[in-house]
Amino acid sequence: MGTWGTAISANYTYEDLKYQFYELYNQGLKSKEVTRQLLTNNQDIIKDFEEVNNFWFALASFQWECKALEPKLLEKVTDIINSRKDVELWKELGAEKSDLAKREKTLKRFLEKLNTEKKKPKRRVRKKFYDGFFEKGTCISFKLENGNYGAAFILEAEKQTELGLNLVAVCDYNNSTIPELDYFQHANLLIHTVKEKILWLDRESIKQIDYAIVGQLTISKKYIFDDFSTMGLWGTISYSVINSDAWITTKSKLKQYRLET
């Protein structure tokens, strides 16, 4: 039983269903249609005697929040609570007496809430989608913690995704002057922990660095997330440059990641 407290929401079933329910609800589906899909997609939970009560409680909670609590579901939840089926289940699973008492009080308060009509339905939240902060092919310089400058190249820029990721190749550059555009034509990639430092960085964390755009280079290769699955924050790349394993003799050229061979 994936439970960490006596609250209605203090279990993994509730958390999983919450994501599923509001993911569909925020897309514009009505509560009945969302419920139908959840019932279809979670038969394993419904058939699990340890989790089924949590399933019905969670579903009733979400329907109530949307001002769409179905009478049959309210009847089912009322029966589970008033018959003490859930408390007996907790007892069977070895819960302590103090937790049983807390759970019973929680269930009674929950039932009282369900029988109180909500004034307004939960507002639907539209997801926001973003492009990568930098355009594909952008050459950038950024200030390092040691006062020098680093360099990075944008291998890919997502279009209209939730995170707006850029695929960033960090170059082997640690110098007191900002790199010129010609540097990127012949740049080596940073070798950090034996691998090239290529990772997906989100647009929000760009606030963590002081950067300047050096220019733009052509890139003919296309990349998807599966090509490089490492993610990170812009603020971490300075540390990587300063503490890199750059003495490794095998140099990886940026050019091989830019151009088709």
Q: Which two tokens stand for residue 60?
A: 């009733």
Q: Which two tokens stand for residue 37?
A: 């899909």
3-state secondary structure of 216: strand
Q: What angle do CA 109, 110, 114 make, to 5 degrees?
A: 120
66 has pLDDT over 90:
yes
For the stretch 38-43, contacts whose Cβ atoms lie closer than 8 Å and that sit 24 or more positions apart, written own/partner, are 42/17
Q: How far apart are CA 213 and CA 216, in angstroms?
A: 8
Residue 88's pLDDT is what?
96
Per-residue confidence at 249, pLDDT binned at 50, 70, 90?
low
**Prediction pTM value:** 0.57
Q: Which residues pair with 130 in a beta bridge?
A: 161
176-195 pLDDT, tens per residue? 999 999 999 999 998 876 68
Per-residue confidence at 251, pLDDT binned at 50, 70, 90?
low
- In sequence order, which residues have a C-beta less than 8 Å from that of residue 20 and are 6 or more positions away? 37, 38, 41, 42
- Our separate counts of H helices and E strands in the chain read 10, 8
209-242 pLDDT, tens per residue? 999 999 999 999 999 999 998 998 998 899 888 8
Q: Hey, what's the torsion of the CAs at 173, 175, 181, 184, to 10 degrees?
A: -10
30-49 pLDDT, tens per residue? 999 999 999 999 999 999 99
pLDDT, mean over the chain: 92
Residue 10 exposed, middle or buried by CB count within 10 Å (0-12, 13-18, 19+): middle
